[in-house]
Chains A and B, each alone.
Chain A
């Protein structure tokens, strides 16, 4: 569709000139929609759109094809990607076609912008007259209240807020001239509005009107409530944890990723003899140096071995003992457990250690061992008196009478057994208190074993005892080695039925002297064999027969042989018997 200009004579020239220079865009359109004329303003305004007016807007088509009159309708056409907002007026022009004027719409005014805000923001804008009658009620916020714009205009605040005393009170305050902001929750809903009440006053200070802006804060309020409740939850959990930590009786230490003390409980600060404000933030290494950390053996503690630091490296430390020393608490013996703390998939971010103060326990243990030692030694003297008098009695003329002889032998045997028990307890007490002392003298193991067996004739009488020996001289404590030999032969007798065979051998193999005691007794189940040398072990507990004994004889045998630099062991088959064997370096040969 082309655009043409018709040049027709003088008067027509004047009209044409006016047409052309008119400050509005004017188009003359024929019935087919073709623009037959366009003035300069139209050409400038529409540019390339001039050719597409017909398809650009339905108004245009209506004007042209139906002959409607249109007065300043707003249209928006797209020109080169930008929106052209136009005010379109048109009048039909006989026979068909018409004249269309277009002008750019003025920029949106203040009122319109306010309207835009009121229409789109979730707020309610209202105004009241001094009597509390609604003059204005607008805003998208009304939708939530189920109201249409203007619906309450003409109603009073009592009519509208009657069921909401709080809101009514807020309105009355404003009507009384008080500017204020209030929050209201609408009854029967969870809707919450924050309303700014502004009274407008005349020069005499009387309220002319009240303007109110209510903002829907329902979501904000819910979010705040949720935040508050999760905050309270976090705080409660934190308090619970802190309460738990501070109320644990054992000292608890928590180190941060940099190896500094981040948290500890009161027991911990007491233990390390440092106030919290001084200790927190210090490195574990510095605190360790201050505490003069040592191993139980007395070696200086290597900082790399500190449980809190090892836990930071990912290790879980279980039941390790350390000794610390402070001016106030003296030397304390601690047992520590430590573990890494991993948070939120970020690897180890801290470590925690719990210490148990074993100082009192260890002291009690030591006192117990000391007591045992004292008791054992105190028993020795009366036992010595008993055995001594038995000895003398046996040699006296009284012993020549046969009945007296039997009685004396009975008392002698009883006191001898008592003496051996006491000897065992003495050795146990010496071992436990670290006071075991062994003589170092040449001992002919073969003679010693023979002497021990000779002392046991009554005990061995009911078994077939075979003793095979060769000269084997070792270096050690005659009395204590005799105790071991006695324990092994006693054990064989105890577990071998009457008439059973027992063989005792002493021989030399290379540089080792060997004592072995083989019985034909009940044997020891394989899973219990290692346990027979443990303290207070009754490996055959649960058997039908109670074999008695303190349960320390074989333990003492192992400890004594080990202290002599030797070895002890057992081979056994259940139901067939056992062989206990002891090896010791022959004299002059140190292993």
Chain B
């Protein structure tokens, strides 16, 4: 089961709301999860999204653990973009073999551009 929504996994409620609004303004359907465990639950219930925007440092289940379990179950059926304030964003992205990364803070245009790169029909 797949959906055409973008799943934003972010523990900061304000940022989650903001990213949701930015993406919706860009014409995307958005679902939110506050940690890796919620995200896995959402995917199990609602299906694999077209793209996952993943924060790395989260309570309950962090981005690394989420990515490992997601890949185990769903292989590469959705691209993952790492979104983090950590200086090692690039390393984190490489560690989980993500498809892209975005450093915080970011502007709406940067976010939409990254999303477009991964969701544009090829």
Contact = CB atoms under 8 A, between A and B. Distances in A.
Interface residues of A, number: 23
Which of B21, B85, B91 has the most A CB atoms < 10 Å from its CB? B85
Contacts of A384: 15, 18, 85, 104-106
Contact of B88 (A382, A388, A426, A435): A435
A388 B108 contact: yes
A540 interface: no
A381 B104 contact: yes
A388 B105 contact: yes
Contact of B18 (A385, A435, A439): A385
Most buried by B among A378, A384, A387, A395: A384
Interface string B89-107: 0110000000000011111
B115 to A, nearest CB: 14
A382 B21 contact: no
Contacts of A392: 18, 21-22, 25, 108
Most A CB within 10 A of own CB, among B15, B21, B87: B87
B86 interface: yes
A589 B43 CA distance: 48
A389 interface: yes
Contacts of A391: 22, 107-108
A437 B18 contact: no
Nearest to B10: A381
Given A381-B85, A388-B105, A389-B18, A437 B12 contact: no
B67 to A, nearest CB: 20
B104 A437 contact: no
A491 B66 CA distance: 45
B54 to A, nearest CB: 15
B108 A437 contact: no
Contact of A395 (B14, B18, B25, B105): B25
A385 B85 CA distance: 12
**Residue of B12, B104, B105, B108 ringed by the most chain A CB atoms within 10 A:** B105
B29 to A, nearest CB: 17
Contacts of B87: 373, 377, 426, 430, 435-437
B91 to A, nearest CB: 7
Interface in B1-54: 12, 14-15, 18-19, 21-22, 25
A380 interface: yes
Most buried by B among A383, A385, A387, A437: A385
B45 to A, nearest CB: 28
Nearest to B105: A384
* 6 nearest A-B pairs in the assembled complex, by CB-CB distance: A384-B105, A380-B85, A388-B18, A385-B14, A384-B104, A377-B85
Interface of A: 373, 377-378, 380-385, 387-389, 391-392, 395, 419, 426, 430, 435-437, 439, 479
18 contacts: A373-B87, A377-B87, A380-B85, A381-B15, A383-B105, A384-B85, A384-B106, A388-B22, A388-B105, A388-B107, A391-B107, A392-B22, A395-B25, A395-B108, A426-B87, A430-B87, A437-B87, A437-B90
Given A384-B106, A392-B22, 13 more contacts: A373-B87, A381-B85, A381-B105, A382-B14, A383-B105, A385-B15, A387-B107, A388-B18, A388-B22, A388-B108, A392-B108, A437-B87, A439-B90
